[in-house]
Structure 1
Amino acid sequence: MIRVLKTGLYSSIQDLGRHGYQDYGVPYSGVMDIYSASIANIQLGNDAHAAVIEITMTGPTLEFSCETSICISGADISPKINGTSIKLNKPILIKSGDIVSFGKLVSGFRAYLAVLGGFKTENVMNSYSMYQGITKQSTLFKNDELLIDTSLKGLGIKHAAIKVIKRHTTKQIEVFKGPEFYKLPKTQQNILVTQGFTISKENNRMAYQLKEPLTNNLEPIITSSVLPGTVQLTPSGKLIILMRDCQTTGGYPRILQLKEASINILAQKFTGNMIHFNLI
């Protein structure tokens, strides 16, 4: 059992998402940065789909009442055990009574805390991913008690050292042409791939909006399917990049589609960060 003493800014339980229900309008959800979450699970020998805590910018404080092991990957939010700093991307043995906390954000934006065997919280539609309206809560609350498999001990299955690629600082976001890309004038197509764009303060698990507008003279489209990584262009010229909690359909032109790895990179960006679209 793990008790939440402090929640942090936005901490939630996530796995690889809720697949197979999009025709009912259910979002995929799941971890924003699949790469980082996978590193944390792999280091413990967990199944790839094991649920983790996704931590955004400011970390929680967690009290462990059993022996287990954890691994933290993704953003560096100065993790500590009982006040002593610990390393990222490395299995760490936890004893009963230990307290895991976080401090200053050093790099990135989202960290992932995996526990041996994964978190055993509410499972809805074959996923532990929290989402408002689907699960009872969308974030962790103070005094929540998180279930884990207490029969598992030690550091889990040992693996060879894993080389972790640090991509928090890259500005390059690789994209494919979206279905409506060809309807844009050549000048606007060129702006998309040559101009830098800034992440606005409107960024969350559902979508990232960009500050710089792109003139939109396109005709509205019939509501069509969208998915994480779809870049929409609104009538006012605002660019919106859909993320893991996005809706399943939309009526704005879909001018670009992020590569999966680029969604992971974007998930580690926040307000004021600059990105460049790289067409592939």
Structure 2
Amino acid sequence: MLKVIKAGFYTTIQDAGRFGYRNKGVPISGVMDNEAYNKVNGLLENPTSTPILEITMMGPELVFTQPTFICLGGADLSAQLNKVSITNYKIYKVNAGDTLRFGKLNTGLRCYLGVKNGFNAEIVLNSASQYAPLTMAVKLEKGDVLNYGAVNSFQPKISELKAKENYAKETLLVDRGPEFHLLTDNQLAHLFSKQFTIAKENNRMAYQLHELLVGHNTSILTAATQPGTVQFTPAGRLIILMKDGQTTGGYPRILQLRPEAIALLAQKKHQDKLQFKLADTVF
């Protein structure tokens, strides 16, 4: 078992996502940074949708009660195993009684903790991803206990990955959205020449941007959205939907982030900068 001594700012169980239920209004959920998630599970040689912990901004304090192997990825939160610093994308053996703590946030925003064979979490609609109101728990709380199977021996094919994450990158690669054609020349010029700032309103549902474009009075019928959809409000605000975002919306969908852009944005925080770059392909 994994005992939660301190929960951290916002720590959740996530996997690859909850697919096939968007027509019922159920978001995909799942990890915000698929690239970091896949690297961690890949090193642990876990199946592709193995549950993992997503740790946001400030990490928890965790005690392992049985042996296993762990791997961290994504943001650098100054992790320490038994008060000894450990690095991302490297396999570590843990024993019963070992303690994992986190400290200062150095780079990124979301860190991922995987264990060999994953956590035995509540499964709802074929996914372990925590999301209200589907799952009984929304996030980890002090005193929680997570189950995992004891692993005494593991010889990984690759024990360490030299992955230097560049979360300082500001360019998000995007495709045209269904209502891209509604943009004026003035709006287009600002959209692709301006540097935008992430507003304080950012979470697993959506990221808002501080700077505004010239507004509009165009309305559309409620239409399907997905993670990475960039909505354009009448006031000129840009809202980027993320993994827990709603499945439909009534604002024009002017851009769609590429998967790698969603992963990069997931590692951005309030006041970080970004720019949009249009890909060659048409949405």
Which TM bucket (shorter chain)? over 0.9
Distance across 2 between alignment mates of 1:160 and 1:68: 14
Residue 73 of structure 1 pairs with residue 73 of structure 2: yes
Q: Which residue of 2 aligns with 1:257?
A: 256
Instruction: In structure 1, give the amino acid aligned to 2:120.
Output: K
Check conservation: 2:175, 2:257, Cα contact below 8 A: yes
Check conservation: 2:89, 2:162, Cα contact below 8 A: no
Q: Which residue of 1 aligns with 2:36?
A: 36
Q: Which residue of 2 aligns with 1:129?
A: 129
Distance across 1 between alignment mates of 2:152 and 2:188: 55
Check conservation: 1:6, 1:62, Cα contact below 8 A: yes
Instruction: In structure 1, give the amino acid aligned to 2:269.
Output: F
Instruction: In structure 2, give the amino acid aligned to 1:154.
Output: S
The superposition leaves residues 80-126 of structure 1 with CA deviations (integer Å, 9 ceiling, x where unpaired) of: 01111111110000000000010000101000000010111111011
Residue 98 of structure 1 pairs with residue 98 of structure 2: yes
The superposition leaves residues 236-263 of structure 1 with CA deviations (integer Å, 9 ceiling, x where unpaired) of: 2111000000010000000110001000
Q: Aligned-pair distance for 1:160? A: 7.1
Q: Which residue of 1 aligns with 2:222?
A: 223
Instruction: In structure 2, give the amino acid aligned to 1:206.
Output: M
- Classify 1:33/1:171 alpha carbon distance in 2 versus 1 (closer, same or farther; 3 Å): same
Instruction: In structure 1, give the amino acid aligned to 2:235.
Output: S
Check conservation: 1:77, 1:104, Cα contact below 8 A: yes
Q: Which residue of 2 aligns with 1:55?
A: 55
Residue 266 of structure 1 pairs with residue 265 of structure 2: yes
Question: What aligned pairs does 1:139-218 form with structure 2 within 5 A after superposition?
Answer: 139-150=139-150, 152-155=151-154, 157-159=156-158, 162-218=161-217
Write out the 4+ residue segments of structure 1 that deviate beyond 4 Å after TM superposition.
Answer: none
Q: Which residue of 2 aligns with 1:15?
A: 15
Instruction: Quote the RMSD (CA, aligned, Å).
Output: 1.1
Distance across 1 between alignment mates of 2:70 and 2:189: 46
The superposition leaves residues 41-97 of structure 1 with CA deviations (integer Å, 9 ceiling, x where unpaired) of: 111111111010000010000000000010000000000011111111100000000
Distance across 2 between alignment mates of 1:48 and 1:178: 29
Question: What aligned pairs does 1:239-254 form with structure 2 within 5 A after superposition?
Answer: 239-254=238-253
Instruction: In structure 1, give the amino acid aligned to 2:28.
Output: Y
Q: Aligned-pair distance for 1:155? A: 3.8
Q: Aligned-pair distance for 1:162? A: 3.6
What is the TM-score when the length of structure 1 is the normalising length? 0.97
Distance across 2 between alignment mates of 1:215 and 1:132: 35
User: After alignment, is 38-47 or 96-105 more displaced?
Assistant: 38-47
Distance across 1 between alignment mates of 2:95 and 2:111: 22
- Classify 1:87/1:187 alpha carbon distance in 2 versus 1 (closer, same or farther; 3 Å): same
Q: Secondary structure at the match of 2:23?
A: helix
Distance across 2 between alignment mates of 1:220 and 1:116: 49
Check conservation: 2:65, 2:98, Cα contact below 8 A: yes
Distance across 1 between alignment mates of 2:257 and 2:167: 16
Check conservation: 2:81, 2:99, Cα contact below 8 A: yes
What is the TM-score when the length of structure 2 is the normalising length? 0.96
Any gaps of 5 or more consecutive residues in structure 1? none
Check conservation: 1:116, 1:156, Cα contact below 8 A: no
Question: What aligned pairs does 1:74-89 form with structure 2 within 5 A after superposition?
Answer: 74-89=74-89
Q: Which residue of 1 aligns with 2:26?
A: 26
Distance across 1 between alignment mates of 2:160 and 2:92: 14
